[in-house]
Amino acid sequence: MTFPTKYPSGGEKQLIEILTGKQVPTGGLPADLGIVCQNPGTAVAARDAVCFGKPLTDRIVTLTGRALARPGNYRARLGTPIEHLLTVAGFDPSQNRRLIHGGPMMGFALESSAVPIIKTTNCILVPTEQELPTPPDAQACIRCGLCAEACPASLLPQQLYWYARAKDQEQLERHHLADCIECGACSWVCPSHIPLVQYYRAAKGMIKESKTEKIRSDRSRDRFEARQERLERETLAREEQRAARRAAAEQKAAAGGADDPVAAAIARAKAKKDSAGDESANS
């Protein structure tokens, strides 16, 4: 089966829709449709782990860009500094102004080459200024609608942009920000050069942090309420124990008052006083 090589048709959700005609539900996973979609690298890593007991300690990383003398695919250990791979690939710092982790559309700039290779590092782009010019400063949105036409997830990038700027989490979730695959198509076609994907990533991080904080707050509240209930139970139990001891003491005093040494002493003192009073009266 063939389908048009149109970016980003290689994305997981887009690939599933093209091949099966089914759409992954909002907030769902391909498994919800009974589908598993894995790239070759993940499949090989799973085979090595299951069949040979080999952990994932390295991966293939593509080094590309005209600032490299020897671009290509390199097998690198996880944790290897990117600057080491750049040295191996013949990096020329004079021709490069920025490093990009990932591709030109979905990647993000690295502030330093000292960062390590991680399990999600698939490509390091080392372009020259002519190859990938620095984007111009962003201008105001002109509401042209090109971003909506380019969006492969059929979202409304313009509305998401406004809500992301306003930090309106409710509207962002209502407009399905989570379905954005961060392909960069909207940013690419934007005539105002607005970095839309950056806003969406920041908004996703804000929502994730907010949900994490809510979970943390709910757990703290649950712990506090559980502690209050425990203290109330303990207080009630102590009151019941005191009441039981009091009742037992009163019952014992009523049943065997003569045997009570204190009561007996009081009775003797009273009898002695009465006897002394009688003698005085007789005399």
- Count of beta carbons in the 10 Å neighbourhood of residue 131: 15
Using one digit for the tens of pLDDT, what is the confidence trace for 115-156?
999 999 999 999 998 998 888 999 999 999 999 999 999 999
Q: Please tell me the distance from the alpha carbon of residue 141 to that of residue 160, in angstroms, as a whole number.
A: 12
Using one digit for the tens of pLDDT, what is the confidence trace for 16-44?
988 888 988 887 889 999 999 888 888 99
Q: In CATH, what is the architecture of 137-256?
A: Orthogonal Bundle (1.10)
Question: pLDDT averaged over the chain?
Answer: 89
Strand partners, 91: 68
> Which pairs with CB-CB distance under 8 Å and at least 24 residues apart come from 74-81?
76/117, 77/117, 78/116, 78/117, 78/118, 78/119, 79/116, 79/117, 79/118, 80/116, 80/117, 81/113, 81/114, 81/115, 81/116, 81/117
Query: Band of the pLDDT at 6, cuts 50, 70, 90?
Result: confident
Classify each residue of 87-110 as buried b or exposed e, where b means 16 or more C-beta atoms within 10 Å of its C-beta.
eebebeeebbeebbbbbeebbeeb
Instruction: Say if residue 45's pLDDT is above 60.
Output: yes
DSSP-derived secondary structure letter, 209: H
Could you tell me the CA-to-CA distances from 271 to 200, 255, 274 in Å, in that order?
96, 22, 5
- Residue 3: predicted pLDDT: 75
Q: What are phi and psi of 229, to 5 degrees?
A: -65, -40
- Residue 280: predicted pLDDT: 58
Contact 109, 201 (CB under 8 A): no
Q: Please tell me the distance from the alpha carbon of residue 60 to that of residue 45, in angstroms, as a whole number.
A: 11
Cα dihedral sign, 156-159-165-169: negative
Using one digit for the tens of pLDDT, what is the confidence trace for 99-126?
999 988 888 899 999 999 999 999 999 9
> Where along the chain do its domains lie?
55-125, 137-256
Q: Which two tokens stand for residue 44?
A: 């090989």
Query: Band of the pLDDT at 278, cuts 50, 70, 90?
Result: low
Using one digit for the tens of pLDDT, what is the confidence trace for 159-202?
999 999 999 999 999 999 999 999 999 999 999 999 999 999 99
Q: What is the pTM of this model?
A: 0.73
Using one digit for the tens of pLDDT, what is the confidence trace for 96-106?
888 999 988 88
Query: Band of the pLDDT at 275, cuts 50, 70, 90?
Result: low
